[in-house]
């Protein structure tokens, strides 16, 4: 292709799909100067450079899908499943699906709170959370905590005991 030639590549997504990302030589060009993306016509346009080699590809998104991201904070982990199939955080899920998140607390730890789209699910501390009939993107976060422990130190007759907490002497 001669230098300075305008190239227009048109994707042909199946019904219900759209181009999510255009790639040139394996690198996303969605935010790259010199490339023009027309989402309505599903096209990518650019002008060739000297010595340029161009391998153009696209990946697609189901227009009837929602994005699900999830994370855990503290001593534990979380997983998610749609109809029994585990999905990774950042997965796209078909609208109207139901998704169940499962919190797995480390030993002697508990679920402190669940957040959906940064909104605290007041008083909800069960190990599973289900979102039903999905219609929009969601971000879910579970927070774990280690319960506070009380330690009693007793010195018997004929000696003494010294205790520290996080390196600081305890008095009393």
Task: For residue range 86-117, list pLDDT tens digits in order.
Answer: 999 999 998 989 999 999 999 999 999 999 99
Give the integer Cα–Cα distance in Å for 155 and 36: 77
Q: How confident is the model at residue 35 (pLDDT cuts 50, 70, 90)?
A: very high
For residue range 42-86, list pLDDT tens digits in order. 999 999 998 888 999 999 888 888 999 999 999 999 999 998 899
Answer whether 66's CB lies under 8 Å from 139's CB.
Answer: no
Choose among 18, 9, 21: nearest CA to 46: 9
Q: How confident is the model at residue 38 (pLDDT cuts 50, 70, 90)?
A: very high
Top pLDDT among 15 and 81 is at 81
Give the integer Cα–Cα distance in Å for 23 and 41: 17
Q: pTM above the 0.75 mark?
A: no
């Amino acid at each position: 292709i001669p230098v300075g030639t305008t190239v227009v590549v048109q994707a042909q997504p199946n019904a219900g799909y759209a181009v999510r990302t255009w790639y040139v030589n394996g690198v996303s060009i969605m935010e790259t100067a010199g490339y023009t993306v027309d989402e309505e016509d599903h096209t990518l346009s650019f002008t060739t450079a000297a010595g340029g080699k161009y391998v153009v590809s696209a990946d697609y998104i189901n227009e009837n899908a929602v994005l699900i991201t999830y994370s855990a904070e503290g001593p534990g982990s979380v997983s998610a499943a749609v109809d029994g199939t585990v999905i990774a955080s950042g997965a796209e899920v078909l609208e109207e699906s139901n998704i169940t998140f499962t919190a797995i607390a480390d030993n002697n730890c508990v679920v402190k709170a669940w957040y959906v789209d940064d909104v605290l699910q007041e008083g909800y501390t069960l190990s599973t959370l289900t979102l039903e009939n999905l219609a929009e993107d969601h971000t879910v976060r579970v927070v774990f905590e280690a319960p506070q422990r009380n330690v009693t130190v007793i010195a018997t007759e004929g000696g003494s005991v010294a205790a520290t907490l996080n390196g600081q002497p305890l008095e009393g």
